[in-house]
Chains A and B, each alone.
Chain A
Amino acid sequence: MANLILDPRDQRFVLYEMLNVEELCKAPLYADFSRDMFDMALNEAEKFAASAIFPALAEGDREGCRLEAGNVFVPKCYHRCMQIYREGGWGTMSVSPETGGQGFPHVISVAAKEWFSHNTAFVNYVSLTEGAAHLVEVYGTEVQKKKYLPKMHASEWGGTMALTEAGAGTDVGNLKTKAIRQPDGTFRLQGTKIFITAGDSDLMENIIHPVLARIEGDPPGTGGISIFLVPKYLINDDGTPGKRNDFTIGSLEEKMGLHGSATCTINLGDNGECCAELLGEERQGMKIMFQMMNGARIGVGIQSLSSASIAYLHALQYAKERLQGSSLMEMKNPAAPRVSIIQHPDVRRMLIWMKAHTEGFRALLYFAALCADRCLATDDEAEKDKYNGFLEVLTPICKAYCSDMGFRVTETAIQVYGGYGYCAEYPVEQFLRDEKIASIYEGTNGIQALDLVGRKLGLKKGMYFMNLLGEMGLTIAKYQPALPDLAPDVQAAMNILAETAMLFAASGKAGKFLIPVANAYPFLMLMGQVVTAWLLLWEAGVAKEKLAAPDGGGADKLFYEGKVATARYFIKHVLPEVDAAAKAIKSEDVSMMEIADEAFAS
């Protein structure tokens, strides 16, 4: 393999051998596409990633962002990435052709983004732009679409998502930014937003901020929030950027990682002149922003997949090269030759653990994206609902399970490197620093767990969740004959998942709300493990079929055997954690609530 970003063979395996994404091309929506076009796009993504985005990773980390005279300057090397991104049309890969995009299936654009997202500090600038453009596309008036979309689609103007305030992080409903109604129907904003990613930069000619605020007189809480478009430069009648809007960048955060990504405090309307246009209807701000947040949560999953993948491949390469110690078989012979550390069982354990998780994330995120495509590609309402249901239930898993476990993969990469991994001279510590944010932004993982347990499990009276279990059951039954030692374990874990969900429902009915609420996070992780086991079993089943073919898997024999071994490792060594988690939840112990605040420390 030529790069240490991701394994293209595994990417192709998931897309074509496991998920059969070419099937999509039979739908009229994707009839213009074919596998060779998908491959060509992914080849270009790989070239772009290897030659520009990856080299900008460490350089961007060292250089960081600067705030000078109110303007933000990003690392210099990002400009070349931006130019290639723009010229390549990557910003509209999955935007429909009617709206000026290329109309690729989402599963292919997720695969392309996997190439880029190891450098999330850079990617944030463009992905927020795409999310914001999507909001304008769906909720904007014709005038707004004409004014903003072409430039945003061309990645010439940027976008952000501006929710957070000092007193309104998780609790967005508590925000204080106010919108003052003007006689002409527009608004003036006043308030302070913090932590706004890409809040300013010299990458884009203009930036269109979707900002959450409360119109004066509207009720408190999330129900009173509206969303506004706030351009950095107001747009002249001829469409060009004009007068600077009345807001300033107060400061940039000094952060643990993601140094190339500008995290901005934005002071809106110090002179009472911060012009804003309502997007969509009044008091619909949260609902509208959720459209963007759902996409962004999948985006955080992709970030985590990419971080895990690049960390795993670096650790693997290092483990093959680093000589230390001798073979276990020669323990007593001081003159035994030094071996590469990949020969040591504990290092192999770490590597296969990283491989299993990384490949599980990949299958999960591609599957989720394929659900979005299937949903778009069919006219059949029942099928639409089925795939939409999968996506709804899996979104918190994509975000939270992948980010927490992705972080642990980056941590394990440092462990494989030993002391060198802890040193900045080697690349792995940056992977960990850049990945940590993924469990925090776009709704902390604690909040994702509450969303899963409090909302997603109960959608359509639990049908979406049950449908997903049904889908898992089909896979298990299909591969039971080929994988008789693995399929029953996955079935048993799936039963535990179902029982635990039922326990939550029963606890809720019995008024014991603390059981599901205090255990929401362990439940999410449990479900993440069951979902991963299901997907890895599926992969192993496909691999078994290839190995059983007359050519025995041909040149890819070892690859397929690796797939089966990886699934076995996960199912035999990681999946049993599900039993422990379920046991803890079933105990109905709520000591975390019983302990007095004063008793946490004296």
Chain B
Amino acid sequence: MNIVACVKQVPDTEAQIKVKPDGSGIEEGGIKWVMNPYDEFGVEEALRLKEKNGGEVTIVSVGPQRAMETIRTALAMGADKGIHICDPAFDGADAYVTASALAAAIKAVPFDIVFCGQRAIDDDSAQVGAVLAELLGIPQVTVVTKFEFTDGAVKVIRPIEGAQLLIECPLPCVVTAQKGLNEPRYASLPGIMKAKKKPVEVKDAAVLGVSTEGKAKVARFVPPPARAAGKIICGDGTPEGKAAELAKLLREEAKVI
């Protein structure tokens, strides 16, 4: 089976994000970069599928040079080879451009199934998997918490409010992974040793023949407003006085009662 898993390198969930003074992006210095956690579920499921059915797992990532670390991590987990789509023209690419680049790279290799994370934790757009499926012209099952492959078809569970959908889908298809799908393995030390020798192809926009013209334009990055200082209610110092002042403020300032 030819299995593809798409990964994105994102800032660690606990990284302190600072917006550049000119609002053109975030300060990258000092940030720890990791594999998007939802993509980890996708890679893990891809590896399990390979372990059960044989075949090969190819990792595809769009990102600057440092994204190679994330590809190597996936190779150290057990994937077989990588494609690194690396071109300054893709810096700040929107979901459509990213998906076009992924689609072009994936079309050039044999594939039966493509795993993505359901969203990336940096821009939270949750679009790339869906756009990718459209561009590849294949069905998609998204936000998947359980995955099975039997008799040539995929059976997945997708939670919806108050219920679960059981969906069957033929191959080839795109599956986007949600938390709960599995517990991703750690890269082992022997895996890290082997990862170094696994092939990773580097491709740019020209080689892929895709346009880098996006559909969305980023106007400006702004940090969320700082939390306003709290107010200490003193009243006249008595409990009754405090309660009276609180009631007054709730009515007149907060306008909640």
Contact = CB atoms under 8 A, between A and B. Distances in A.
B186 A87 contact: yes
Interface residues of B, number: 23
Contacts of A87: 185-186, 188
Contacts, number: 61
A54 to B, nearest CB: 14
A132 interface: no
Nearest to A3: B14
Nearest to A48: B186
A48 B30 CA distance: 21
Interface stretch (A35-43, A239-247, A426-434, A526-534): A35-43
B73 interface: yes
B189 interface: yes
Contacts of A102: 189-190, 192-193
Contacts of B193: 32, 37, 102
Contacts of A8: 32
Contact of A554 (B29, B69, B73, B186): B29
A555 B30 contact: yes
Interface string B113-124: 000000000000
Given A37-B192, A40-B76, A41-B192, A47 B29 contact: no
Contacts of A554: 29
B15 A2 contact: yes
B12 interface: yes
Contact of A555 (B27, B32, B76, B186): B27
Given A39-B69, A102-B190, A556 B29 contact: yes
Interface in B11-69: 12-15, 27, 29-30, 32, 34, 69
A556 B30 contact: yes
Contacts of B34: 43
B82 to A, nearest CB: 14
Contact of B186 (A3, A32, A47, A92): A47
A93 B27 contact: no
Contacts of A104: 189
B198 interface: no
Given A37-B196, A39-B69, A89 B189 contact: yes
A479 interface: no
A43 B35 CA distance: 11
A34 B193 CA distance: 10
B169 interface: no
A2 B27 CA distance: 17
A40 B72 contact: yes
A92 B188 CA distance: 11
Interface in A85-111: 87-90, 92-93, 102, 104
Nearest to A101: B189
Given A40-B73, A555-B27, A34 B196 contact: yes
Interface in A261-276: none
Interface residues on A, range: 20 to 34
A44 interface: yes
A286 to B, nearest CB: 33
B189 A2 contact: no
A84 interface: yes
A241 B14 CA distance: 46
A3 B12 CA distance: 12
B186 A2 contact: no
A555 B15 CA distance: 14
A93 B32 contact: no
Contacts of A40: 69, 72-73, 76, 187, 192, 195
A366 B143 CA distance: 45
A415 to B, nearest CB: 28
Nearest to A34: B196
B146 to A, nearest CB: 22
Contacts of A34: 196
A89 B189 CA distance: 6
Interface in A42-89: 43-44, 47-48, 84, 87-89
Contact of B29 (A41, A43, A84, A555): A555
Interface of A: 2-3, 8-9, 32, 34, 36-37, 39-41, 43-44, 47-48, 84, 87-90, 92-93, 102, 104, 554-556
Closest A-B pairs by Cβ, 4 of them: A555-B29, A2-B14, A89-B189, A102-B189
22 contacts: A2-B12, A2-B13, A2-B15, A2-B32, A8-B32, A36-B72, A40-B69, A40-B72, A40-B73, A40-B187, A41-B192, A44-B76, A44-B187, A48-B186, A84-B186, A87-B185, A88-B186, A89-B189, A89-B190, A92-B189, A102-B190, A555-B27
